[in-house]
Structure 1
Amino acid sequence: MLTRAAGWARRMPQPPSWWADFAAHLATQRHPFYAADVIADTARLLLTTTAISPSDLLTRARQDSPQLVGALTDFFRAHGRLIPPDDPADAKAAVRRERRIEATPAPLRPEVWGFAYSLLAQRDQARQLGLRPNQLKTIEIRLDTVRDLGIHLHARGHTSWASVSTAHLEAFLAKNPARRASWLAGLRQFFSYAHRTRAVLRDPTGSVTAAQHRDFTDPL
């Protein structure tokens, strides 16, 4: 995979200073096939834009290559390359979001970073259109749900969101019937994002309802 990254670097007039670190990060955090795809897609994005700084590149990725947002954010955060917001309240909210995302098992974390950014982008868009934006607390609740699902799945051997089925979601939701409707709302949003960015081939929430299912057996 590092050889492939070097090959793409030769195609770029001037690879960004973080390119080698990015490839090394992917090699230790992600499956080689996934990492190779991320390297290729990121290189193609860099070849079509002048956005080299982490924040500018993430903005461009959200527009043109949303499947890269999670992996890029995970790397830039891990290496201290993202500048925190200026507003104190936003900065505190960003810390709370990061704490929740970092609590997600590493193999499942990049998609959660991407999901968080998509929720923030929706919030900004609503503001621009004069609509009522999602509250930052609502975003944190959604991240709580996805983090808890990630911990639940990872404990059962899952290292990819693509392996999640409806049965796995039912087992998770059965852990707390009182919060089923709230959890399901968050999971629908997350898997809609994951399907849109090709992290999953199909949305496993499609046939799940808010009504409680009794006597459900937890699958592996």
Structure 2
Amino acid sequence: MRKHAGLGLCSPCWQRHPGRSFIRGEHLRDRLADPPSWLADFVAHVAARHCGFVTGLGRLLEDEHSTSPQALLERSRRPGRSMGSFARTLEDFFTLNGRALPTDQAERLAAGRRKRRIDAAPEPLRPAIAAFDASRMRAQERARRASTRPRSNHTLETALATLRDLALFLVDHRGKNDWALSDVHDVEAFLASLPRARKRRLTVLRQFFRFARSQHIVLIDPTRTLTAKEPNGFRGRTLTLDQQRELFRRWTTDERVHPHEALMGMLALLHGASSSEVRLLQVTDLDPVAHTVRLGKRPHPVPMDPASWTVLQRCLAHREVWPTANPHVMVTKGTKAGRSPASTAYQSHVLDDCGYPLRMIRSTRLVDLVNTMDPKLVAAAFGMGPQATLIYLADHVDREAELTSRTTARFTRPTR
């Protein structure tokens, strides 16, 4: 093996040397005519994670373009759906130190997802969907400027997916290539294809056809007479007691299970945690002395039982394998170089191996708590609205309490 000239180390040992990044930073500072003042801080920022970032920064500083932090950040981005780990590291460093603004990577990815949904629609019906998307984007921008509540990218993308499905349904099953030819029977048949999504789909279709009528794309709104009458009670699926025991044993005794799956499953099964609460959970939210965790917007820390705390420690041990400064508990290969949480796409597949979705596991816990405790106390403990827990009581009637209330009303009824 060829040894390093300065330190006398072989190549593998030199690659693992803790001072390698600082040596490269010193060489880069000596080569630059006007080194930036933040160079030493950046070298210290990436020293424990990736030495190659110093080399990449050197290529950007030594070219003929601007060396301002914002310009360096823009040039470091890779084309495509991922901006690259080097660009994410630069973004984290510059934004934390107030030297540059965050990139528009999230907006670019959202625009790409919307474009793919629009392009999947049949060509004769595509322009109206594109015009509807443009109007919604203008409304989103106005809401941001007015500091109100703009529609999220997920809401906009879901609406475009619904319109894409309707356009494909009209062309493939109804033989109609024009929005003006659609009628109430077409919309009703489309809504009947997915009965459980009727209310959500009908809301999107009403918004679209109102826009189409204002733009003279259609003459009559086919959704004007349609209704979405649905029971307000809980209609989801829940786990049986045997299934809950099976999952508990899987996540507490099987070492082959991924730590992220065990953590998300245990927090949902025993503590009713949602996907966003687990995804945004940070190391600073943990109290190792009191064994409590702060989950989402819950007003009080959540006490951890021994099994959940053991699973959490196992997830932290898995996190320590990555040389990362990411503050979140769940760190993936794509987020170890930055500070952003795990993507929703990654989290949606964490529980695939266990065979049960997160919503089903969480609903089981909420149904049990609401029907055995006061729903107002459950709502206060989970940081939910006062009406959010009442849907789980739609099919539950306490006969003893009902008999007591009727008896009390009979004896306290005023006499004439």
More helix by share: 1
- Which of 127, 134, 138 is matched with 2:151 structurally? 134
RMSD: 1.1
CA distance in 1, matches of 2:229, 2:125: 27
CA distance in 2, matches of 1:93, 1:129: 22
**Length-normalised TM-score, structure 1:** 0.56
Identity %: 43
Q: Please list the CA deviations of residues 107-132 of structure 1 after superposition, one character each: whole Å capped at 9, or x if unmatched.
A: 00000000101111111111111111
- Which of 177, 198, 201 is matched with 1:159 structurally? 177
- For the pair 1:195 / 2:213, whether they are aligned, the reply is yes
CA distance in 2, matches of 1:209, 1:136: 26
* Residue 211 of structure 1: how far off its partner (Å): 2.5
- Which of 115, 139, 149 is matched with 1:122 structurally? 139
Counterpart amino acid of 1:160? Answer: D
Q: Please list the CA deviations of residues 136-163 of structure 1 after superposition, one character each: whole Å capped at 9, or x if unmatched.
A: 1000000010000000001121110000
Number of aligned residue pairs: 127
Counterpart amino acid of 1:177? Answer: P
* Residue 133 of structure 1: how far off its partner (Å): 0.3
CA distance in 1, matches of 2:203, 2:150: 17
CA distance in 2, matches of 1:190, 1:146: 8
**Structure 2 SS opposite 1:186:** helix
Q: Please list the CA deviations of residues 81-117 of structure 1 after superposition, one character each: whole Å capped at 9, or x if unmatched.
A: xxxxx71111100000000000000000000000101
**Length-normalised TM-score, structure 2:** 0.30
Map 1:61-210 onto structure 2 (within 5 A): 87-155=104-172, 156-210=174-228
Q: Hey, which bits of structure 1, 4+ residues long, moved more than 3 A?
A: none
CA distance in 2, matches of 1:144, 1:183: 10
Counterpart amino acid of 2:212? Answer: A
Which structure is larger by alpha-carbon Rg, 1 or 2?
A: 2
Counterpart amino acid of 1:208? Answer: L
CA distance in 2, matches of 1:189, 1:142: 9
The corresponding residue for 1:62 is: none
